[in-house]
Amino acid sequence: MSSSAMESDEEARVIGLLKRLPELANQDSDLVRRGAYVHDDILIGIGAHRCYVRIAGGLVEEIETRPQRMRSAAFSIIGSADAWSRFWQRMPAPGWHDLFAMNKRGHITIEGNLLTFMQHLQYFKDLLALPRSLSETSPNVR
């Protein structure tokens, strides 16, 4: 299997995890309460794919994975499929456990309206960590 096919398989797997955010987030009443004032679209980049997450009142209403032109988002977090996969391990290794650690090490970029991101930082950190509960990977093994 070529490396581009392996990347594509990994991207598809990671996008599949991201698509589970609505069910994971919307059943977590504490998370929804913390995000009660979040009404934004955010962009999550997984490799070459761009996924838009629509949040309204803390509920994840929609995840759009089809390519779109000129769609705005409050902010974006973009990383490789491997970076997201490592972040979503049940027990991520040091440096892969936190969005800021990954940004500092160059594994992801965080851009856009950082005021929105920082005002609701704990909500976004908890929201984006939810796919860890779905991880089948043993802790810290890659």
Q: Is residue 142 part of a domain?
A: no
Q: What is the pLDDT of residue 135?
A: 81
Average pLDDT over residues 45-50: 96
- Would you say residue 141 has pLDDT above 60? no
Q: Is the pLDDT of residue 60 over 60?
A: yes
Per-position DSSP letters for 14-42, written without gaps between them: HHHHHTTHHHHHHT-HHHHHHTTT-EEEE
Within-domain flag for 141: no
Interval 125-136: pLDDT, tens: 999 999 999 987
Mean pLDDT confidence for 3-23: 85
pLDDT > 70? residue 8? yes
Domain assignment present for residue 139? The answer is no
What is the arithmetic mean of pLDDT over 76-89? 98
Domain that holds residue 42: 3-134
Mean pLDDT of 10-17: 95
Pairing of strands 49-56, 39-46: antiparallel
Side by side, the strands of the sheet bearing 75-79 are 59-64, 49-56, 39-46, 75-79, 108-112
CATH number, position 60: 3.30.1050.10
Q: How many domains does the chain have?
A: 1
Mean pLDDT computed over 107-112:
98
Q: How far separated are the first and last CA of the chain, in Å rounded?
A: 19
List Cβ neighbours of 9 (8 Å cut-off, separation of 6 or more). 1
* Residue 126 DSSP SS3: helix
Kindly state the helix (H) or strand (E) to which residue 79 belongs, with its residue range: strand 75-79
User: What Cα–Cα distance (Å) separates residue 4 from each residue in 9, 11, 14, 131?
Assistant: 9, 10, 15, 24
Report if residue 107 sits inside a domain.
yes
d(Cα 35, Cα 33) in Å, to the nearest integer?
Answer: 5
Q: Output the average pLDDT for the chain.
A: 92
Give the model's pLDDT for residue 140: 46
Helix (H, G, I), strand (E, B) or coil at 76: strand
Is 42 within the bounds of a domain?
yes
Task: Evaluate if residue 94 carries a pLDDT over 70.
Answer: yes
Mean predicted confidence (pLDDT) in 72-99: 97
For residue 127, tell me if it sits in a domain.
yes
- In this prediction, residue 57 has a pLDDT band, given cuts at 50, 70 and 90, of very high
Q: In the predicted model, is pLDDT for residue 87 greater than 60? A: yes
